[in-house]
Amino acid sequence: MTENILAVAPPMAQDDAALRRSRLLLHASESLSVTATTGDVLLIVPELLKAALGAAHAEVVLPGDPRRGAVSERLTTTAMRDRRARYYESSMDVTLEHPTLAEELERDGWQAAVCAPLPDALGALLLAWDEPQTFYVADRAMIATLALYVAQALERATRHDSRTAITDTLQRAIESRLPHVDDFELAAYYRAADTHRKVGGDWYDVIPGPNGRLAMVIGDVVGHDTAATARMGELRNMLRAYLVDRREPPSALLRRLDAANFALGEPAMATAVVAFLDRAPGGGFRLRWSNAGHPPPVLICPNGDVRPLTGNDLLLGARRGSPRHTYTATLERGSIVLLHTDGLIESRERNIDEGFQRLYGKLRIRNAGAPRDLLARVAKEMTTDRADDVAMLAVRIPR
């Protein structure tokens, strides 16, 4: 190469070259260790290789990449097929092996090239220089080491990309679209604790029922990983079936859910609120709810008063056959009912009681506005700490 690493030189010069190689490889290892996705690897490697090897062109070529040009396609296919690096010290070396590439080489200005396959058929490194090169033993060893580093980074990135794809699929599966309901204005918010993973154990549901009843659910399974998401999915789907199939009060539905939770193996630890919003027998609207260890629903009155709707039983999965109760509140027209998970009010900087008071202070606003705007404002002001999942569900009673 232009600055060859192992030429005939005095011992001191060879020692300097060896030190330079070690530093370049250390820098490459450190740079690749922080890459997370395949896109990260493809972005960082070309500049890394050009700086380390003095190449005019460098790229990572992945199998089946439709963007490969004729030279890239031919050289990388040959190297990957033979499973050994190809070193072309001049453009003549390339055209002797691939006569049809002469025009492309002249157009690109490539006077030397190396194509090094990555282990496990992950792809290949393609490097080119605008001057003829001599590739010494140390040059080739360094390129082989860099190819190994890139392959390791790609393997990590592939695993990361696969996990991301799985969690994205899970997230789409658990996202709940709010139904259109003529009488009520609805809004929801969800954010997982780990913004890279994007899934967690919080969920919400809104299911219209008979006679204008609106069922609202919010829950939180212990954990912030895909296992928590899977357990949440089981509980959520069972509860959905009960909400559609049974005409029972919220407490009875939570009893059924917890019984199934215990019957189907190791019970999931979770909190939940099931609430029914409908017209009261004497006119107006009422809320009936049952709470399994969850933060209380919050009633926001049109005049700005804030009232937590208390009444709480044990969380799900805590004790088989735990008693459940249904509570009732009459709702003023124009009121907003807010359900939320504990991630909204818990923080490293404050205890949960301080979190409740901070939330209630944010909600004490006369004519709080549309539920969607309310949730956006609360999320912005209350969710700076990303240590826990956050879910919110709000519904406004007709004025």
Place of tokens 């592939």: 158
Question: What interhelical angle do 137-174 and 226-245 show, nearest 10?
Answer: 20
The Cα–Cα gap between 301 and 304 comes to 5
The Cα–Cα gap between 85 and 148 comes to 12
Place of tokens 């399994």: 292
- Please tell me whether the overall predicted TM-score, pTM, comes out greater than 0.85 for this model: no
- Ordered by start, the domain boundaries in the chain are 11-167, 175-396
pLDDT (0 to 100) of residue 199:
63
pLDDT (0 to 100) of residue 4:
47
**Contact present, 249 and 309 (Cβ < 8 Å):** no
CATH code, 175-396: 3.60.40.10
Give me the helices (H) in 115-196, please: 137-174
The Cα–Cα gap between 394 and 358 comes to 18
The Cα–Cα gap between 393 and 111 comes to 64
Right CATH for 11-167 from 3.40.5.50, 3.20.20.70, 3.30.450.40, 3.90.700.10: 3.30.450.40
User: Which regions in the chain score pLDDT beneath 70?
Assistant: 1-15, 170-175, 194-200, 224, 384-387
The Cα–Cα gap between 257 and 237 comes to 10
DSSP states of 177-242: PPPP-SS-EEEEEEE-SSTTT---SEEEEEEE-GGG-EEEEEEEES-SSHHHHHHHHHHHHHHHHH
Q: What is the pLDDT of residues 209-223, one digit of tens each?
A: 888 899 999 999 987
